[in-house]
Structure 1
Amino acid sequence: MEYTPISPFMRPISHAHLRVIERPEASVPGKPVNKWELLRELSKAQAAFGVSERDLTVLQGLLSFFPDDALGGNAEMVVFPSNKAICERLNGMPCSTMRRHLARLVEAGLLMRRDSPNGKRYVRKSGEERVAFGFDLSPLYCRSEEIARAAEAVREAEERVRRLREVVSLMRRDLAALADFGEDIQPGFGFWDQLRDTAALTARALRRKLSLDDLVACRGELEALLDQARNLIDGPETEEMNTNDDRFERHHHNSNTDTIDLEPALKKGGAAGGGPDDDSEAPGADVEEAETRSLPKIPLHLVIAACPSLKTFYQGDIRHWHQLFDAACHVRPAMGISASAWEEAQRFMGPEQASIVLAAILERFSDIRSPGGYLRALTSKAATGEFSCGPMVMALVSRRSAA
C-alpha cells in the first residue's frame, strides 16, 4: 500500500500510534524470531513493558492467528480476526475485556492497529499486491532484542535473589548453632538469647518472598551478629579470660629443659599433681577431661606467635579457632600426614587442640622423622588423658625467645 495510516478508526490518536508507525531499519532484528519463544521472553520481562498476564493472554490469542511460527522475513505480520473470533480463541473472554487488553498492548508499543477506512479487518489482493487491515505484529518483532535483554536482566536479578537467600539461610543456621555452642561454654549470657531470637525471626521472614534490598539488610545484620559471636567464643575476649591458666601452666613446665620431642608428657591431674599416686584417679576423670579437651586454654594469638610457619602455607588471617582448623586441614596433606591419623587426632584431642599440634609439628618439621607417626603417638597420649598442647606451645615460645 502506498500510504500507511497512523490514526485508528473512530478512536483518538495517541503517542503510541506515532511511536510505532515508523521504526529505523537498525532496530529491526533482520532474522526470523520464533513467536512463541518471543512470547515467553515477554512473559518473563512483562514488568519492564508494563503489561499483565491477561494482556499477554490476548497477545497469545493474536499470535495464534499468524500462520507461521516465525515472525520476520518477507511475510507481512498483520492478522485480521474479528472481535468474535478473538474472544472465541480466548475461551469466551468478554469482548469489552478483550478490547481493554488490546488497548494496553497498543499503548505498550507491542501492537499497532492498521484500521481500514470503515474500521473492518480484512485482506485484499490485487494481483501480486496484498493489503491487510487489522493488528500489525511488526512492533513486537522489532523489539524482540529489547525483550530478550530485559528478560535476561530479570533472570539475573532472580538469580542474585536466590543466591542471597541461600546465604541468609545458611547464616541463620550458623547463628542458631553458635547460640547453642555459646550457651554451653558461657551459660546464662543474655547475648545467646538475642542470637536465638534473631535466628527465629529470620527463619520466619524467609517464608515470605523477600526483595533484594530486604535480603541485603538481613545479611548485614546476621554478619554483624556472627562476627560478634565468634569474637565472644574464640576471639580476644576469650583468650584474655584464659591467660592466667596459661601462665600457670607455663611456669610449671618451663623447668623441663628436654624439649627435643616437643611434648613432655603430662601426668593425669595436670599442674596440680606432683606425687607418685597421681596415676590413680577416679574413673570419671577421663570423661570429664574428654568434655573439656576440645577447648584449649592457651590463647590463639600465642599459638600463632609460636608457630609462624603455618601462615606461610595459608592465605588469609587466622583470628579464630575455626580459621586455625581450616589452615591445619589445608597444610596436613603436604606434611605427609594421612587422613586417618588426622581424624583420629581430632576425635581424641578435639579439632582445636589437633590443629595446635599440627602447627607445632610443622614448626619443627625438620626435626621430626615421621610427622604422621609422631601425631599418632600424641593421639595415644590424648586417648589416655596424658596430653596437653600447652607445654608443646610453650616449648616453642621458649625456643624462639632463646634464639
Structure 2
Amino acid sequence: MGYVPITPFRRTAEAVCVQRARVQSAPAPLPVVSKWDILSELTEARAAFGLSDRDISVLRALVSFHPGTDLGADPAKLVVFPSNASICTRLNGMPDSTMRRHLAALVASGLITRRDSPNGKRYMRRSRGTATAFGFDLSPLPRRFAEIAEAAEAQRSLQEEIAALRETLSLMRRDLLGLLESLPEECQDAALTLSEDTRRLLRRKAGLPELRQREAELSMALTHVPPAEVISTEEMSTNAAEYEQHYQSLKKESSDSEDDPSWYPMQSDIPGSENALAKKKAEAIPPRIALRTVMSACPSLNDYAEGPIRSWSDLVRTAEGLRPMMGICRASWEETKRHMGQIEAAIVMAAMLERFEEIKSPGAYMRGLSQKAARNGFSAMPMVLALLRREGTAQYSPGRAA
C-alpha cells in the first residue's frame, strides 16, 4: 500500500487516535509472536486495557482470520478483511450491532487499527503482483506484546495477593470466633459484628484496599485478647466439639420413650410456684449472643418462619412451630424451656435444625441438653460458634478469585 490512511471512513477521529495511528503506521521492525500467546496474555490483562471478556472474544474471532500462527512474520498479511457476517458467524451468531460495539472498544484501546478503503468496504485488491488489503490491522498486537505481558504479570501478582489475603482473613475470623469467650464482655458484641461482616465480605469479590482494611480491623480485634486468658488448643477443641459430643453420648438414650411420664411438668411448675418464678426470671435474662449472629449461623430457620425473624419473640414462636416437625414431644420441650429459658431453648432448636440429618434422635438429644442445663447450666453460644466456624471454613476455597 503506497499510502496508509489515518482517519476512519465517515467517522470522526480524536487527536489521540490520529497520533496513535501515525505511530503504528511508521515503518518499524515487528517482533514475531504467536497470536495465541498474545490472546492468552491479553485475557489476563484485559482490565488494564479497559476491555471485557466479550471484547476478547471478538478479538479472538478477528485474529482467527489471520493465516498462520505467528503475528509479525509477514507484515503484509497483518490486515484481515472479514465481513461483519463472517465475524458474527465465528462468534456463534452474535448480533451485528453488538459485534460492532465490541470492535469499536478494541479500536479505542489501540490493540487493532482500522484500514478503511475509499468506500469503507473491506477487501483485498491485487494489482501487478502486489496485494493491498483494507480492513483491520493487527500489527499493534505484536508491537505491544511486551506491554501486554507486563500487565498480565501484574494482574496475576494482584490475584495471588488477593487470594492469600482472603485466606488470612478466613483464618483470622476463625480465631476471633474461637477466642470470643476470652474477650472482655463489652467487646464481644463488636467482635461478633466484625465476624459477620467479614463473612459477608468473603462471599463477594472485594478489592485489595478493602481486604487490607478488614485485615487491620481483625488484627486490632485480636489484640484485645488478654494473653493470660487465651484458651488452649485443647480447651477450644472441647468447646467447639461440644455439639458432637452430645450426639455421641445420646446414642444409648435414643430408645427412651418420648412419652415417659417422668418428663411431664411437675406440680411445682404450676404458675406461682418457686420453679415457675425461677423460670420467668431465667427467661428475662437476655442471651449473650446477638440475634443476627444466631440467624447467620442458622439460616434454615427462615424457611419455617411465618415472616422475617426480627426479634427474640419471633425466634421463640418459630421454634414452637418447628418442635413437632422435628419429632420432639411437648414434655421434653417444656422441660428444656424450664431449665434453659425459652430464648436459649429456641436457639438450641435452631442449631439442631442446621444439623438435623446428623442427629438420629432429636428428642433424646434435647433431653440430654436439658439435663445438662439442670445440672451445671447451659449456654448455646458454643453451638452457634461451631456452626459459624463450619460455615466460614466451607465458604473459602484456595485459589478462588476474589
> Normalising by the residue count of structure 1, what TM-score does the alignment of the two structures yield?
0.52
Give a deviation string over 1:48-77, Cα, whole Å, max 9, x none.
111222222221111110111211123420
Matched, 1:173 2:144: no
Equivalence map 1:1-400=2 (5 Å)? 1-15=1-15, 17-23=17-23, 30-76=30-76, 77-180=78-181, 182=182, 189-231=185-227, 233=229
Measure how far apart 1:193 and its partner are.
4.6
Contact 2:31-2:142 at 8 Å conserved across structures:
no
* Distance in 2, Cα, partners of 1:26 & 1:16: 16
Does the Cα contact within 8 Å between 1:122 and 1:133 map onto a contact in 2?
yes
User: One-letter code of the match for 1:151?
Assistant: A
Percent of pairs identical after alignment?
48
Distance 1:35 1:2 in 2: 27
1:43/1:56 contact within 8 Å kept: yes
SS of the residue 2:124 aligns to: strand
Amino acid at match of 1:126: S
Counterparts in 2 of 1:58 and 1:179: CA distance versus 1, 3 Å: same
Larger Rg belongs to: 1
Query: Secondary structure of 2:118's partner?
Result: coil
User: Cα gap change, 1:26/1:151 in structure 2, threshold over 3 Å: closer, same or farther?
Assistant: farther
- The offset of 1:146, in angstroms, is 0.9
- The alignment partner of 1:204 has SS state of helix
Letter in 2 for 1:73: A
Distance in 2 of aligned mates of 1:86 and 1:16: 28
* 1:225 shift after superposition: 1.7
SS in 2 for 1:164: helix
- Contact 2:79 2:138 survives alignment (8 Å): yes
Q: Secondary structure at the match of 1:132?
A: strand
Structure 1 distance, partners of 2:29, 2:191, is 55
Q: 1:124 to 1:86 in 2, by over 3 A?
A: same
Greater relative contact order (Cα < 8 A, sep 6+): 2
Q: What is the CA–CA distance in structure 2 between the aligned matches of 1:196 and 1:232, rounded to whole Å?
A: 22
Q: Is the 8 A contact 1:27 1:143 kept in 2?
A: no
State the shift of 1:28 in Å: 6.7
Deviation track 1:314-352 (CA, whole Å, cap 9, x = no partner) reads xxxxxxxxxxxxxxxxxxxxxxxxxxxxxxxxxxxxxxx
1:103 deviation in Å?
1.6
Give the alignment's Cα RMSD to 1 decimal: 2.7
| 1:233 CA displacement | 2.2
Q: 18-27 or 8-17: which moved more?
A: 18-27
Shift of 1:126: 3.2
Distance in 1 (CA, whole Å) between partners of 2:189 and 2:33 is 59
Match of 1:125, SS?
strand
Scaled by the length of structure 2, the TM-score of the pair is 0.52
Pair 19,59 (structure 1): closer, same or farther in 2 beyond 3 Å? farther
- Tell me the number of residue pairs that the alignment of Structure 1 and Structure 2 aligns: 230
Distance 1:25 1:5 in 2: 9
For residues 63 and 24 of structure 1, what CA distance do their matches in structure 2 show?
A: 18
Counterparts of 1:195 and 1:59 in 2: how far apart (Å)? 49
In structure 2, the gaps of 5 or more residues are 231-402
Letter in 1 for 2:35: K
Q: 1:3 to 1:204 in 2, by over 3 A?
A: closer
- The structure-2 alpha-carbon separation of the partners of 1:166 and 1:125, relative to structure 1 and needing over 3 Å to count, comes to same
Q: Deviations over 1:280-325 (max 9, x none)?
A: xxxxxxxxxxxxxxxxxxxxxxxxxxxxxxxxxxxxxxxxxxxxxx
Shift of 1:30: 4.3
Asked whether the equivalents of residues 20 and 112 of structure 1 are also in contact (C-alpha less than 8 Å), the reply is: no
